[in-house]
């Protein structure tokens, strides 16, 4: 056997330096690159192939240039020409344009590609969208509430922008523990199927924040439905009261058709109209879908949670993601009747459920639990 050679200290340091350089310059295993195609088969394109901050991102004929090659390094960003796809001014509003900008790690540069071929910014809970649904070269891209329209459907690189997580932060076993007496209508699979409508839900921020948001949503749902027992409102005398004839579309399903249904007990004709428009369903004419289809029922609950402020000042989703506290979710759902001392027993019921559910998920409930 030959005598091993001794390696000097300088050589060791050089080898280590080379290894570290290779480690930090290597392309992550999840990286993928390619074009992103959408409406009329056209490509997501950086205007003028410019890498300057603020360059518009647009729809354009596919031409094979670097301005149309997008990559993802596994961190949730979509990159071209060395910079990130970015929502202008960190806006979460419908119609906010997207641009190219230095990668900063901001929430306005995070994107999720769903199984439904949407590309979603979780912070805004909105989809990458072709403005005015036109396929003309140079049409600016923006974010907009997800509608399922062709102008929001994309074919992206396999791992571009990440994918909808395979696992919800609440397991089926935990869900069953939370709702031991639930109605068989409220299936875990129905909830899981509904999650793709709002990919930012329980999927924004740290693992703790994700679990806190899931617990907060389910705690309010628990209160609204008596532990996921009631699918429809129990007080039938209220049914005729939820028709606002002042709306231009009236109540085509009937005066008494818009009673509370589903996990958040969706009620009133204008809420059925708004939820249906957002979800691509005709709930104004067929409100019974909410009590007959578990996935639709869950989606209406998630619609309210992620997009409506109710009597509050923020959506329940934003209340949890921005750590305003569970109390603000109560205010946004039923604050006019419960908060500020109006009905402390109802508030306490919600808080007790939230504390119980965060315990099941193994996270702290955080502060500001009351409204």
CB 54 within 8 A of CB 40: no
- Measured between alpha carbons, how far is 357 from 355 in angstroms, rounded to an integer? 6
Shared-domain flag, residues 110 and 183: no
Shared-domain flag, residues 215 and 254: yes
Per the confidence metrics, is the pTM higher than 0.75? no
**Is 319 a domain residue?**
yes
**Is 371 a domain residue?**
no
Shared-domain flag, residues 130 and 254: no
Q: Which CATH number does the domain housing residue 57 bear?
A: 2.80.10.50
Q: Which CATH number does the domain housing residue 204 bear?
A: 1.10.530.10
Shared-domain flag, residues 129 and 180: no
Shared-domain flag, residues 65 and 183: no
Shared-domain flag, residues 301 and 353: yes
Q: What is the pLDDT of residues 69-95, one digit of tens each?
A: 888 766 678 888 889 999 999 998 999
Higher pLDDT, 161 or 117: 117
Q: Which among 152, 182, 209 is the end of a domain?
A: 152
Shared-domain flag, residues 199 and 314: yes
Shared-domain flag, residues 237 and 353: yes
**Is 21 a domain residue?**
no
Tokens linked to 230: 């009631």
**Is 255 a domain residue?**
yes
**Is 11 a domain residue?**
no
Shared-domain flag, residues 274 and 132: no
- Which residues are part of the catalytic machinery? 224
Q: What is the pLDDT of residues 235-280, one digit of tens each?
A: 999 999 999 999 999 999 999 999 999 999 999 999 999 999 998 8
For residue 16, pLDDT over 50 is answered with no
Total domains in the chain come to 2
**Is 52 a domain residue?**
yes
The structure tokens 């020409």 sit at 81
SS3 (DSSP) at 276: helix
| Owning domain of residue 130 | 32-152
Q: Euclidean distance between the first and final Cα of the chain, in Å?
A: 78
């Amino acid at each position: 056997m030959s005598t091993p050679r001794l390696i000097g200290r300088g050589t060791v340091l050089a080898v280590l330096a080379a290894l570290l350089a290779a480690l930090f310059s290597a392309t992550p295993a999840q990286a993928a690159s390619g074009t992103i195609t959408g409406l009329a088969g056209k490509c997501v394109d950086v205007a003028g192939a410019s890498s300057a901050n603020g360059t518009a991102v647009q729809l354009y004929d596919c031409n094979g240039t670097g301005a149309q090659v997008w990559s993802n390094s596994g961190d949730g960003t979509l990159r071209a020409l060395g910079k990130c796809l970015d929502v202008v001014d960190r806006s979460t509003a419908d119609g906010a344009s997207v641009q190219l900008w230095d990668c900063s790690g901001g929430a306005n540069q995070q994107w999720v590609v769903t199984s439904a071929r949407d590309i979603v910014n979780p912070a805004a809970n909105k989809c990458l969208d072709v403005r005015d649904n036109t396929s003309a070269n140079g049409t600016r891209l923006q974010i907009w509430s997800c509608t399922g329209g062709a102008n929001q459907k994309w074919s992206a690189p396999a791992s571009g922008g990440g994918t909808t997580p395979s696992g919800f932060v609440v397991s089926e076993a935990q869900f069953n523990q939370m709702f031991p007496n639930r109605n068989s209508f409220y299936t875990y699979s129905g909830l899981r199927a509904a999650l793709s409508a709002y990919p930012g839900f329980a999927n924004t921020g740290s693992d703790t924040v994700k679990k806190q948001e899931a617990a907060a949503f389910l705690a309010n749902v628990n209160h609204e439905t008596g532990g996921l027992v009631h699918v429809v409102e129990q007080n039938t005398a209220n049914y005729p009261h939820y028709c606002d004839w002042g709306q231009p579309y009236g109540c085509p399903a009937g005066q008494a058709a818009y009673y509370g249904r589903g996990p958040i007990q969706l009620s009133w004709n204008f809420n059925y109209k708004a939820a249906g428009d957002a979800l691509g369903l005709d709930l104004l004419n067929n409100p019974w879908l909410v009590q007959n289809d578990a996935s639709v029922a869950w989606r209406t609950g998630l619609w309210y949670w992620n997009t409506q402020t109710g009597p509050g000042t923020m959506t329940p989703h934003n209340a949890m993601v921005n750590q305003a506290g569970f109390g603000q979710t109560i205010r946004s759902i039923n604050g006019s009747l419960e908060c500020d001392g109006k009905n402390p027993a109802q508030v306490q019921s919600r808080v007790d459920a939230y504390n119980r559910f965060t315990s099941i998920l193994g996270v702290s409930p955080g502060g500001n639990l009351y409204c």
